[in-house]
Structure 1
Amino acid sequence: MHNKGLIKVFAIIFGLVCIYQLSFTFITSSIEQKAEEYAVQKISENEENYPRLRENAANTYLDSVAKEPYFAGITYEDAKDKELNKGLDLKGGINVILEISVRDLLVGLASNSDDERFRTALDKASEIQKTSAKTYLEIFFEEFDKMEGAKLASPNIFANKSLSEDINFDMTNDQVRPVIRRKIDESITSAFEVLRERIDKFGVTQPNIQRLGESGRILVELPGAKEINRVQNLLQTTAQLEFWEVHKASEFNQFIVDADQALAQSMMSENTDEEDEEEISETSETSETSSDAEDTDEQDLNELLAADEDAADKDEAFSKSNPLISLIQGGGNPQGPVIAYFAIKDTATVNDYLARPEVKSKLGQDLRYAKFVWGKPAQDSEVIDLYALKTNRKGEPDLSGSVIIDAQQSYDQMGRVAVTMQMDRKGSRAWEQMTTKAAEQRSQIAIVLDDIVYSAPGVSNPIKGGNSEITGEFSILEAQDLANVLRAGKLPAKANIVQSETVGPSLGQEAIDAGINSFIIALLFVLIWMIFYYGKAGIYADIALAVNILFIFGVLAGLGAVLTLPGIAGIVLTIGMSVDANVLIFERIREELQKGKDQALAIKDGFSNALSSILDANITTGLTGIILFVFGTGPVKGFATTLLIGILTSLFSAIFITRLFIDGYAKNGKLLQFATAATKNFLANIQLNFLGKRKIAYVISGILVILSIVSLSTKGLNQGVDFVGGRTYIVRFDQAVNSVELQSQVQEDLGSAEVKTYGASNQVRVTTNYKVDNDDNSVDQEIQEFLFKGFQSYLPQGFAYDDFKVGGNNEEFGIMSSMKVLPTIAEDIKRASYYAVFGSLIAVFLYILLRFRRWQFSLGAVAAVSHDVIIVLGIFSATYSFMPFSMEIDQAFIAAILTVIGYSLNDTVVVFDRIREFFNEHPKWHLSKIVNYGVSGTLSRTLNTSLTTLIVLLAIFIFGGDSIRGFMFALIVGVVVGTYSSVFIATPVMYDTAAKKGIDLSDKNKKELDEEETEATIS
């Protein structure tokens, strides 16, 4: 090996850089350990809610030492920014994919056009996109073009005042489309920047925000975040701030009565029950009699409600005859802005009532443009206030939030938490005019954010200078978030959460513990096995392996990559597979020594001869890793990242680091044995007639493939929410539970909910497609309430809903993690998975074709890989219903399938490489003899690599986390089947297709062997 000095210097420098990068992680871990110890000493377990109190105490400690130098001038704050990033499954936190509504953006660009063809194209695009791979914008253009004479540059659509500089009336649809695409892209970019600015101020370390292609989707990862509602509000609030004049409550007293009567009559006509109809009619007459005498301009709503309550006591008949009034919990001050108070649970019903035509008709001429909006409810309150904004035909506010240039959390004159805002010059003038008018009329101004009234203060004097203040029932965090949102600006359109995942911190810690345990066990086995099998040479291989692990973690830390539980699995798998390179080298050195070569030459030729197989094997595995990285998201991408890094560092460690130690030991003539007494002659000079058994192998494989296809056709696969959409929750109890009993408890509310034991007997996984098409956050809360109601009797005594819910007060029991995937993105994930699998098969076929220059090799490899994939799928299909762990088909499973493809190819390519080598060395040998010798020559390597990899996977399967058990099972089956197929499927298929015409498979241009020779067997 040339340039040994340069390689040594590089290895040392690279190692020191990796140690430096990892030092930040050690510093943060040390300080955080001290913070935990401080919290344990300060907060006793006897205190109520002690886990949360300890967390607060630990955070207080970390804040106090954040800027103090800890080691070599490095502070905790500095180290935290540079430590090895941990994913959600290791640290806990929140992961969401937001989709900016392209429909809303189009509507905005079209100035809220009500053009019939425009609206029809939007509706059709919304429906088609649910099952289409195309973007919403492309579908909209296609649907719009189908309408005869439809013109995008119509004055009623995009040829409007706001787009006048870009679009004119004479432009064709083809000319308009690029402009709209650019505008949409600019808006999504703007949304991305707004979200990034909000997240930067959120307060979590190492947040991650990425734009996903051109889909309008944005990935946001917030490790360590726990307040799911706060995060949802932060990400989805469009920050549409508006200032409105507001109606007085007294203006709506008569309307409430008239609307109530109109509703009663309308609902009575819909009622087919004659007895109920008579009852409603009688009580309605009583109500009308009393209401006729009312002078609602003088009498407030509270008196009206009191009279009605005394007369009817709000019984069932009263509710039917007074559907609106019966819902009112209290009236507002007649001169104030609150019309009435309602129960929060009744807001949907009230909205429906107020939107009915028969109710709108009662508003009268003066109130016909009134816009009803709700206030922001106080904390722990069950009622909410209703306001009516003064608006016009266009529905435009008097002043919008675009004039806000700064916002800060503050306190009002009463000491309550508030948000102060500063307006620009234009806004200041408009604000002064607006407050002057309000002061003269002694009226209120409503401050409205996203159609929610945060405050509606009265104005006694004009406000100059552009200062304003929002007050309300804020916590400090809510006020800080609101100020953050206002500073960052508004989103250009609504952001829908199409996929989300929440992992509790305790579940993350358990995943870390499980990952470390499996890592240590796998590593110890590999280290011991290499010494047992190769003696002192195995010690050098172990040193190279340890250096390799240092390189992997150092590179991950340096690149800022995120370490996930599948990522740890990727590293552990890399340990098992990286042994393969050393095994290949050592086996080749042993062969050269058996030929009688001296040690120095045997070492040189061994490394040289093994290089081709090592490169081919790692390149094929690397191709599948690249495809995983391109098509995968989240944990799958984390797995691919560590796999790719591991391949590169393993190559360097095996080829150079191991060589340095071996050459250094042998340079003075010291004898280095590449075996121990127990393994010296193991599988040496063994020659087996593998091809003679190929027909038996074909029959066995044929039966397995047919059974797999039958199971897949009849029983199918257990598709996870990644592929079909839905919601899943991991729920933990303080006692062992029966999943069948739990399922029966929630079946009535959630319908097709599935409850299965997940890991330990006190933990279940709940999967449901309840309201799967509805992305509203209220559905998430509704499902959690159903689960709490159904599971309450199985939870600890006194366990409240706030303890149970996602991000609740209790971190030991309740919902430990949750995941939501809408059907639209589920289709996209499924489609990307298909592309990944087929793309990897095509890439491998082409690589092997280019590398071996014969299609017979490619056909054999693809046949073996297809065989492996079908059998793995078949086993999952046949066994998922009774296996004690989750066998859902999700993104992680696709990663497992691609890894199986890579591993199987790794094995196959090593065998093919040896066969090709024998062709070049023995051109006159019979083809079958060459193939059998090639397979036999790699037998020791195949068994060594497969055994170490299999033990490593079993360690992860047994000691790893529950979330990757199905993933590991797929890999275990894949390794077993892949090892078998490389010998009994790939090689025989290659042989049979080549032997038919006596094709020469060597690299040299030799004379073709005749058919008689190719059919000969080992003599």
Structure 2
Amino acid sequence: MQNKGLITVFAVLFGLVSIYQLSFTYIANNVEDSAKEFANNKFTADQPHERDSAEARYLDSVGAQPIFLGIDYNTAKEKELNKGLDLEGGINVILEVSVKDILKGLANNTKDAAFNQALENAADLQKESQDTYLESFFKAFEALPGENNLASPDIFFNKNLEDVINVGMTNAQVKPVIEKKIDESITSAFEVLRKRIDKFGVTQPNIQRLGKSARILVELPGAKDVARVRKLLQSTAQLEFWDVYKFEDMAGFLQAADAKAGEIAMAKTSTETETTKVADTSQTVVDSTKTEEDDVSKLLGGQDVKDSLADNGKANPILSKMVTLGSQGSPVIAVFRLKDTSVVNGYLRNPQIKSLLSNELRYAKFVWGLPEANLQLNGEETTALYALKGNRDNVPPLGGSVVVGADQEYDNLSRVVVSMQMNGQGAKVWEQMTGNAYQNQSQIAIVLDDIVYSAPGVTSGPISGGRSQISGNFTVPQGQDLANVLRAGKLPASAEIIQGEVVGPTLGQEAINSGVMSFVIALFIVLLWMIGYYGKAGAFADIALMVNILFIFGILAGLGAVLTLPGIAGIVLTVGMSVDANVLIFERIKEELAKGKAQKDAIKDGFNNALSSILDANITTGLTGLILLVFGTGPIQGFATTLLIGIATSLFTAIFITRLFIDSYTKNGKPLPCSTSVTKDLFKNVNIQFLKKRKAAYILSAIMILVSVTSLFTLGLNQGVDFVGGRTYTVRFAKDVNSQEIQNDLIKTFGSAEAKTYGGDNQLKITTKYKVDETGTDVDEEIEHMLFETVKKEMPADMTYDQFIGDQTGKTIGRMEYYKVSPTIADDIKKDSFWAVFGSLVVVFLYILLRFRRWQFGLGAVAAIFHDVVIVLGVFSLTYRFMPFSMEIDQAFIAAILTVVGYSLNDTVIVFDRIREYFNEHSAWKMNRVIDVALNSTLGRTLNTSFTTLIVLLCMFFFGAESIRGLLFAIIVGIFVGTYSSLFIATPLMYDTIKRKKIEDLIGKKEEDEAAAALEA
């Protein structure tokens, strides 16, 4: 080997750089361990929030102090090895900015019938299309009858766009203008979200726009307060200032609405007689809209009246749900339980009830205040109902665009408030509004995203200068978040979470512990096996393998890549490939020694002859890794990243590092047989006639494929939420539970649900499609409340909803993990996965065609891959109902399928390489003899590599994290069928499809007639 000195220097420097990069992780972990110990000594386990705060204060206090070689914690934290959500815990979401809202804004909220119909039709087209919403809108608009013009004054030729669109433009001319405006709005949304996240306080956040789509990926490792993050991300920051009605203005309507709601409710179940009675009271209802003093008095009748209403829920469906009424002069109409607000909203939006509003009140807009824990109701959350003084256009007197600054502060009573500063225009309107409120002794509601944060009165005259203040019983983090979103500005449109994942820190730590333990066990077994099989040569391979692992982690840390559980699986596969390369080399050295060559020549030729197979195998696997990197997201990209890095480092360590040790050891003539006394003659005289068994293999494979395909069409697959949409929760209980009983309870709650044991018998994976088409924090919280109410009988009696849903470190029971995918993105994921698998097959075929220059080789390889994929799918289809672990078909499973593709291809290419080589060496042999001998010569390598890879995967499967058990099972099955198919499917099929044609491409420079004679024979 040339340039040994240069390679040695490079390897040493690379190793030192890797150690240096990993030292940041070591330093950061040490400091964080000290912080945890400090917090645990100060607070007990039942004070999780206090412990988290103490830990954060400790880290903040020591952040800038040098620890080792001038490196401080803050620097180490920035450069440490990034851990994914499944290892660190945290939140990962994909937000989709509403292009529909942006289009409405660009069209000035037009009432044009064609425009609004096209918006609705575009939403329907999206369900079955890969087009963007904007493309669907253009198609829907042009499909409408008549000649509809986007540049009409009723649509896009308006004040907003008059500088870029004129009335004479065609639809084709308008489209690029709108596309540009949409892109600018999404870019604006991205920047707003980035500013919010930068101030959130999470280390190593990741935010990126996914291509040119309206989707934005946000990853917040270590984030624990899910509700806070949701509000931060989805809040449009639509700040508005409204005049507000007083209680006495709306009291009559409230009473009338309650009576009419009772009439509506009772009409559903009452007899005609009862309906008549209700009808007789309807006149009273209408009359009661007058806000006379005696009506107010009746509503303020005290606790006796309230109790009687509570006992009469059907006749008084609104008032029976109230906790308290407002008081005269107050902007609060009534206070309700938070869980009842959706019911009350339903009544208030009912056209029959809205018609009861007098002309003066007809534009009233009902909104809710901030939720508060009500001590009289054992901490249950309640919220106040307000009525804003709306108008025909639903435009507030003052909008949030006038706010130029916002800060979290404290008022004179030490309460958390948010102070705002307005620009000159806003200050002028604010002075006028506060002046009117002072004169009329009324209030102004400060509304953010349709929630009233405060509704203060004005007690000291008009407020000049544009200063204002929002109060609302905030905590410090709430105040900081509110100031943050106001400073960052409002989103140009609403943003919904279409895919989300929440992993609790406890589950993440458990994944690290189990992953490390299983990896160490597997590595130890592989290291021992290599020494036991190859002797001293195996020890050199072990050193190269350890260097390889060091390089992988060093590169991951240096590149700022993210290590995930699938990424660890990728490293495991890399270990197998690294072992495979060394096995190939050692087996070739043994063959050269068996030919009687001197040891030095045998080593040289062994490395040279193995190089072609090693490169082919790694390149083909690398191509599948690239497919994953392009089509995958999140953890799957982590898998692909570690796989690709591992391929590069495996090649370097196997070819160069192992060679350095072997050359150094044998330079003085020391013998290196690459075997032990036990393994010396293994596989030496094996003579299996593979081609004679091909018909039996064809029949066996045909049966397996037929069974698999039948199962796929009849039983199907257990498609996860990645592919069908829905919500999945990992819930851990204090004791073992019966999954079937809980599933029955969940079905009663959600209509359809599935509960499966996930890991231990005290942990369930719960999946539901309830309200799968609806998004928003309110829907998420509603479903989580319903989930808690359903399973709380199996939880400790004193567990609250907040404890159940919280994600504090050290949490041992409750909701441990959450994952949501909307149907829209689920469809995209499914199609991307299909193209990933299909693309990998095409790429593989083209590479083998290019490498071996015969389509028969490509056909054999692709047929073997297809065979393996169908059988793995069939195994999953046949067994998912009774396996004791999750066998959902999700993105991780697609990664497993592509890994199977890579592994099967690896085996097949090595066999093909040997066949090609034997054609060169033994052109006079019959073709079937060439193939059989080639297959037998690679048998030792095939079984050895399969065994070592299986050992690693089985250790990960039995001792690793539950979340990747399905992925590992798919790869394990794939290794068995892949090893079989490379011997009994790919090669025999290639043999059967080669006809009497020129085969000079197979044998290099051999004469064509000799080759033809070999085929003829």
The TM-score by the shorter chain falls in which range? Answer: over 0.9
Instruction: Name the amino acid aligned to 2:639.
Output: F
In structure 2, the CA distance between the partners of 1:319 and 1:908, relative to structure 1 (3 Å rule), is: closer
SS of equivalent to 1:772: coil
Gaps of 5+ in 1: none
The aligned residue for residue 246 of structure 1 is: 244
In structure 2, the CA distance between the partners of 1:689 and 1:733, relative to structure 1 (3 Å rule), is: same
Equivalent of 1:131 in 97, 120, 128? 128
CA distance in 1, matches of 2:290, 2:398: 35
- The number of residues matched between the two structures is 1009
The aligned residue for residue 1015 of structure 2 is: 1014
Deviations 1:351-391 (A, max 9, x none): 23333333333333333333222222324464322222233
Deviations 1:897-921 (A, max 9, x none): 0000000000000010111111122
Deviations 1:267-325 (A, max 9, x none): 6666652353355467778x669x77x97354573x22134976796358955555544
CA distance in 2, matches of 1:504, 1:920: 59
Q: Aligned ranges for residues 752-771 of structure 1 at < 5 Å?
A: 752-771=752-771
- Do the aligned partners of 2:772 and 2:823 also contact (CA within 8 Å) in 1? yes
CA distance in 1, matches of 2:932, 2:301: 100
In structure 2, the CA distance between the partners of 1:605 and 1:547, relative to structure 1 (3 Å rule), is: same
Equivalent of 1:205 in 199, 203, 206? 203
In structure 2, the CA distance between the partners of 1:1012 and 1:168, relative to structure 1 (3 Å rule), is: same
1:37 aligns with 2:49: no
In structure 2, the CA distance between the partners of 1:907 and 1:268, relative to structure 1 (3 Å rule), is: closer
CA distance in 2, matches of 1:296, 1:22: 73
- Do the aligned partners of 1:251 and 1:297 also contact (CA within 8 Å) in 2? no
Q: Aligned ranges for residues 180-259 of structure 1 at < 5 Å?
A: 180-259=178-257
Compute the displacement of 1:813 (Å).
0.6
CA distance in 2, matches of 1:784, 1:364: 39
SS of equivalent to 1:799: coil
Deviations 1:53-109 (A, max 9, x none): 444433332222222111111111111111101111111111111111111111111
In structure 2, the CA distance between the partners of 1:906 and 1:504, relative to structure 1 (3 Å rule), is: same
**What is the root-mean-square deviation of aligned Cα atoms in Å?**
2.3
- Do the aligned partners of 2:505 and 2:809 also contact (CA within 8 Å) in 1? no
Instruction: Name the amino acid aligned to 1:426.
Output: Q
SS of equivalent to 1:338: coil
CA distance in 2, matches of 1:553, 1:657: 17
CA distance in 2, matches of 1:705, 1:736: 39
The aligned residue for residue 69 of structure 1 is: 66
Moved more, 819-828 or 788-797: 788-797
- Do the aligned partners of 1:95 and 1:500 also contact (CA within 8 Å) in 2? yes
CA distance in 1, matches of 2:303, 2:796: 41
In structure 2, the CA distance between the partners of 1:995 and 1:689, relative to structure 1 (3 Å rule), is: farther
The aligned residue for residue 835 of structure 1 is: 835
Over the matched positions of the two proteins, sequence identity in percent amounts to 61
SS of equivalent to 1:163: coil
The aligned residue for residue 159 of structure 1 is: 157
CA distance in 2, matches of 1:323, 1:610: 81
- Do the aligned partners of 2:252 and 2:295 also contact (CA within 8 Å) in 1? no
SS of equivalent to 2:728: strand
CA distance in 2, matches of 1:185, 1:385: 39
SS of equivalent to 2:1003: coil
Deviations 1:570-618 (A, max 9, x none): 1112111211111111111222222222222222221111111111000
Moved more, 949-958 or 243-252: 243-252
Deviations 1:223-251 (A, max 9, x none): 11111111110000000111122233333
The aligned residue for residue 377 of structure 2 is: none
Q: Aligned ranges for residues 847-926 of structure 1 at < 5 Å?
A: 847-926=847-926
The aligned residue for residue 935 of structure 1 is: 935
The aligned residue for residue 384 of structure 2 is: 385
Compute the displacement of 1:265 (Å).
5.4
The aligned residue for residue 140 of structure 1 is: 137
Gaps of 5+ in 2: 375-379
Moved more, 166-175 or 359-368: 359-368
- Do the aligned partners of 1:803 and 1:809 also contact (CA within 8 Å) in 2? no
CA distance in 1, matches of 2:306, 2:197: 53
Instruction: Name the amino acid aligned to 2:147.
Output: G
CA distance in 1, matches of 2:645, 2:3: 24
- Do the aligned partners of 2:998 and 2:1008 also contact (CA within 8 Å) in 1? no
Q: Aligned ranges for residues 455-494 of structure 1 at < 5 Å?
A: 455-459=454-458, 460-494=460-494
Moved more, 255-264 or 423-432: 255-264
The aligned residue for residue 344 of structure 2 is: 350
Instruction: Name the amino acid aligned to 1:455.
Output: S
Instruction: Name the amino acid aligned to 1:502.
Output: V
CA distance in 1, matches of 2:519, 2:386: 60
Q: Aligned ranges for residues 676-755 of structure 1 at < 5 Å?
A: 676-755=676-755
The aligned residue for residue 334 of structure 1 is: 328
CA distance in 2, matches of 1:268, 1:686: 86
Instruction: Name the amino acid aligned to 2:390.
Output: T
CA distance in 2, matches of 1:524, 1:349: 61
Deviations 1:25-68 (A, max 9, x none): 000111122223333433456xxx15554444333322222221
CA distance in 1, matches of 2:1009, 2:874: 41
The aligned residue for residue 433 of structure 1 is: 432
TM-score, length of structure 2 as denominator length: 0.95
Moved more, 311-320 or 500-509: 311-320
CA distance in 1, matches of 2:362, 2:37: 64
The aligned residue for residue 1003 of structure 1 is: 1004
SS of equivalent to 2:780: helix
SS of equivalent to 1:950: helix
The aligned residue for residue 360 of structure 2 is: 366
Deviations 1:384-413 (A, max 9, x none): 222222333222222211122221111122
In structure 2, the CA distance between the partners of 1:418 and 1:1008, relative to structure 1 (3 Å rule), is: farther
Moved more, 314-323 or 590-599: 314-323
SS of equivalent to 1:766: strand
The aligned residue for residue 587 of structure 1 is: 587
Q: Aligned ranges for residues 802-817 of structure 1 at < 5 Å?
A: 802-807=802-807, 811-817=811-817
CA distance in 2, matches of 1:902, 1:191: 40
Instruction: Name the amino acid aligned to 1:444.
Output: Q
Equivalent of 1:296 in 282, 288, 291? 291
CA distance in 1, matches of 2:267, 2:527: 83
- Do the aligned partners of 2:260 and 2:285 also contact (CA within 8 Å) in 1? no
- Do the aligned partners of 1:408 and 1:419 also contact (CA within 8 Å) in 2? yes
The aligned residue for residue 509 of structure 1 is: 509
The aligned residue for residue 86 of structure 1 is: 83
Q: Aligned ranges for residues 564-643 of structure 1 at < 5 Å?
A: 564-643=564-643
Moved more, 962-971 or 255-264: 255-264
- Do the aligned partners of 2:24 and 2:79 also contact (CA within 8 Å) in 1? yes
In structure 2, the CA distance between the partners of 1:271 and 1:702, relative to structure 1 (3 Å rule), is: closer
Compute the displacement of 1:419 (Å).
0.5
Instruction: Name the amino acid aligned to 2:409.
Output: S
Instruction: Name the amino acid aligned to 1:656.
Output: F
CA distance in 1, matches of 2:317, 2:43: 52
Compute the displacement of 1:629 (Å).
1.0
CA distance in 2, matches of 1:515, 1:810: 18
CA distance in 1, matches of 2:314, 2:905: 72
TM-score, length of structure 1 as denominator length: 0.95
Instruction: Name the amino acid aligned to 1:1003.
Output: G
SS of equivalent to 2:251: helix
Instruction: Name the amino acid aligned to 2:895.
Output: A
